[in-house]
Amino acid sequence: MLKLSKSRVMNAMRTFKNNLSSDIYSDGTATNQINGLQAIVAATNTNTVGGISGSTYSFWRNVVQSAAAPISGSAITPSKTTIKTMMNQLWLELSSGNDGPDIIVSSNDYFTFFWESLQDNQRYVGNDTDLAKAGFDSLKYMKADVVAEGGANIGSGVPASTMYFLNTDYLQLVVHKDANMAEVPEMRSINQDAVVIPIIWQGNLVCSNRQRQGIAKA
């Protein structure tokens, strides 16, 4: 029984981490789901986030780089020879002095295009970085780490053909101080000799400046 309980607790923790990871990239429309990047850095940037309408207020719109209708020039067909053109335009749109994206989170297909474009001179982030400690390998673009997080078979929530250019100075995962994996007193079942111990987490991904966030999409 002790071994069974231990394994169930470990599986519950893994399930929580996987679900929270998926929620980080979600649009926040599911029940009890946090607002994820599909809401904050939306492909259609006139949506409402935090009660503020991007349709009404232009300052509350993230930057969209669409291959079909790019920031400048004619339509782009994403490939290893064109991916940096898409990235360059978006980077310049989001950067001002030292203020710019510090991480780029990519679907596997766009990451592969970028990776192949650097095949002769790619470089990885050193082992002492926080990303390496978290288990990620990343490439470098300008000053930003480029991370692949698009494996559909492992439940990633990053849409295909997508790159998020994130300025984490304006993004924060806020957690309620009294509900950060807080254990609730046990509850006894009415029809079996068992107890349930709920664990509560309450929080949200918040953004203070959507104009500093960007998305590259097909």
Using a 10 angstrom Cβ sphere, with 0-12 exposed, 13-18 middle and 19 or more buried, the burial of residue 216 is buried
Q: What pLDDT is recorded for position 162? A: 96
- Identify the domain containing residue 161 by its residue range: 2-217
Residue 1 has pLDDT above 80, yes or no: no
Q: What pLDDT is recorded for position 123? A: 57
Residue 158 has pLDDT above 60, yes or no: yes
Residue 20 has pLDDT above 90, yes or no: no
Residue 207 has pLDDT above 80, yes or no: yes
Average pLDDT, integer, range 132-137: 54
Kindly report which listed range (12-26, 124-138, 170-184, 196-210) carries the lowest average pLDDT score. Answer: 124-138
Q: What pLDDT is recorded for position 125? A: 56
Q: Give whole-number Cα distances, 144 to 125, 167, 174, in Å.
A: 10, 9, 23
Query: What does residue 120 show for φ and ψ, rounded to 5 degrees?
Result: -80, -20
Provide the number of structural domains found in the chain.
Answer: 1
Residue 199: band (very low, low, confident or very high) from pLDDT cuts 50, 70, 90: confident
Q: What pLDDT is recorded for position 185? A: 86
In 3-state terms the chain splits into helix, strand, coil percentages (rounded to 5) of 30, 25, 45
